Structure 1
Amino acid sequence: MKFAVWLPLLIPLLAVPVARRVTVRLPPRAAAWTLGVCSVLLGVCSTGALGVLAVGGALQITPIAALEDISPRLLDDRTQLTLPAGILAAGLLAGAAVSAGVVAVRHWREVRAAGQAAEDASGELAVHVDERPYAYALPGPFGRRGRIVVSTAMLRSLNAEEREVLFAHERAHLAGKHHLFLSCAHLTATLHPMLRGLREPLTYALERWADEVAAEAVGDRQLAARAIGKAALAAVVPASRPRLVPGATCGPVPRRVAALMGTGTTGPAGRCGSRRRLVAALLISCLALSAASTLHAASELHSSVEIAESSSGVR
């Protein structure tokens, strides 16, 4: 446990920049899933490592160790830093739990308030009479079908074909459960500060995913790009919109429009192909090492406790 337990806390320093680089060249759907999985796995592993440190430190306190019928002196991983590291880890875990709880409760309240405001609407479309242009995909509670929330000002700013692009984009968000990706990314960012670096590329990937679905639905990439650009130029962010819900006007819109128009930057395929595979292999290695280190540290702690219990029984 002395060495393995620290790796899940350090690996995000390398894995997050690597994940950002890997997903630049991936299709939007694959990029979103890659970033989402990385965020959750790295967050879980770092939290597990803190838990192992906290338990290891707690077992150095005689009254707590006595609950397991062991003596702290019998633990084979006992060092002068075990107790301070355990106290620090326990404090970080408590802080992360509070932060995650605040994010979860705030998101639930915002979605509930937005849902109550859209209750009078029938069907998938909730039109708000509002002079501020906005549109977003509001998820339904407990797996229920969500709704597309759009203001009358936004509808007036687009023609009929462009409105179809907007609706197709928001339907893609609802069908793909993209709000869950965003929620997971923000929750895991409370577990390790480095994971905040995955939120922006994940938001971009989700919007690009919905852009591609909308372009395919209307059969015209130029129309899709024009509609997304016009909606973004007109849009404002209303106070009633939940912060962790996606919408057509989110993310770096110029990059999204350029990608739809086919004018995004691309590198040489031949020379960069092997480099991208190498970077992808590095990312997979980071994730595997983080998970293996967490399991190994937990296994070592468990074995140490079992040996201490056996030694206490012999004595």
Structure 2
Amino acid sequence: MNVLLVAPLLLVVAGVAAGWFLPRVTSPASSVRVLTVATVVAAAGVAAALALVVLAGASELHDVSSWLGWCDALYPGDHGAAPWAGALAAALLVVAARRARRYLSRSRAEMAAFAAVEGVEVIAAAGAVAFAVPGSPGGVILGDELVRTLSRDERQAVIAHEHAHLDHGHHRYVHAVETCAAAFPFLVPLARQVRFNTERWADETAASAVGSRTLVARAIARVALLGAPSPAPGVLGFRSLSAAARVEALLRPSTPVRLTLPAAASTMTIVTTLAGSSVQLHHLVFFLDHACR
């Protein structure tokens, strides 16, 4: 098979790996934006590669190529793909699509019960239940155990955190990366990084809103002690996700970010990933455009 089919995928994988370094050298907001783009581009690159393999495999089948009006020799030698490879790629695309659709269905089902929420509402729930419900204008759900456990100031910190999720549209980033990760599981670690950094972004926004980083850190620690349920798909909540790391980041804020060698290398790799994926899509279009007529 043509090496140009494989090279863009290697660039995508390199970009995903490089994305791990970004949270160490950039702000949470920048990390969320860049890693979301990298995740979506990686998923699109893999999908385009699989689609190209499907077409290449189909071109080797005389009946199919004749029916579609392609030349029998469209992909001679190492430029084609074995029919079994095309069938396998097609199966992988179908599985990816079904997994993504299942994630979206679960996410919609989880939020359906709270579609009419506006403002702050308290529900009967054990543990650290606090999450944002996107919408127009959206709202915040708090569990009654959490409300009883936290002080008034700590509750305000939690509410400010959840409002930050709504104000910055964090659900869009999380839905995008988790849909991609559902389709292609190798993207799950990167999706977790995006989730964590949306929490860090909301922590920083809440600290500015209440005027105390210590207060937000204390609220995170106390919520973690309550024990948080497993997060539902796409739900943005004040749970104990990497609570220790979040508390430390608030109590020991990093120095102003400078462009370091890892940051430069990560940025350049992700830019290369974008270019590589564009090349991949170009070859898919080229394949279709230059089919024998």
Give me the TM-score of the superposition, normalised by structure 2.
Answer: 0.90
Q: Taking structure 1 as reference, are residues 74 and 221 closer, same or farther at Cα in structure 2, changes over 3 Å only?
A: closer
AA in 2 matched with 1:53: V
Once the two structures are superposed, the pairs formed by residues 56-67 of structure 1 within 5 Å of their partners are: 56-67=56-67
Partners of 1:47 and 1:204 lie apart in 2 by 26
Radius of gyration: which is bigger? Answer: 1
Structure 2 residue runs without a partner (length 5+): none
Residue aligning to 1:313: none
What is the CA-CA distance between 1:87 and the residue it aligns to? 1.5
Residue aligning to 2:175: 183
Residue aligning to 1:211: 203
Q: What secondary structure is seen at the aligned counterpart in 2 of 1:73?
A: coil
CA contact (8 A) 1:207 1:250 kept: no
What is the CA-CA distance between 1:191 and the residue it aligns to? 3.7
AA in 1 matched with 2:242: P
What is the CA-CA distance between 1:243 and the residue it aligns to? 2.9
CA contact (8 A) 2:119 2:138 kept: yes
Please say if 1:31 is aligned against 2:31.
Answer: yes
Partners of 1:178 and 1:63 lie apart in 2 by 49
Partners of 1:233 and 1:102 lie apart in 2 by 32
What is the CA-CA distance between 1:80 and the residue it aligns to? 6.4
Residue aligning to 1:279: 266
Percent identity of the aligned residues? 27
Deviations 1:151-207 (A, max 9, x none): 111111111111111000000111222122222112112343321220221111000
Once the two structures are superposed, the pairs formed by residues 91-102 of structure 1 within 5 Å of their partners are: 91-102=91-102
Q: What secondary structure is seen at the aligned counterpart in 1 of 2:25?
A: coil
AA in 1 matched with 2:233: R
**Alignment: residue pair count:** 293
What is the CA-CA distance between 1:283 and the residue it aligns to? 2.5
Partners of 2:204 and 2:7 lie apart in 1 by 38
Q: Taking structure 1 as reference, are residues 299 and 274 closer, same or farther at Cα in structure 2, changes over 3 Å only?
A: same
Once the two structures are superposed, the pairs formed by residues 1-315 of structure 1 within 5 Å of their partners are: 2-75=2-75, 81-113=81-113, 115=114, 119=116, 123-140=118-135, 144-237=136-229, 242-262=232-252, 273-292=260-279, 294-305=280-291, 308-309=292-293
CA contact (8 A) 1:76 1:304 kept: no
Q: Taking structure 1 as reference, are residues 210 and 290 closer, same or farther at Cα in structure 2, changes over 3 Å only?
A: same
Deviations 1:93-117 (A, max 9, x none): 111111111111111111113x16x
Structure 1 residue runs without a partner (length 5+): 310-315
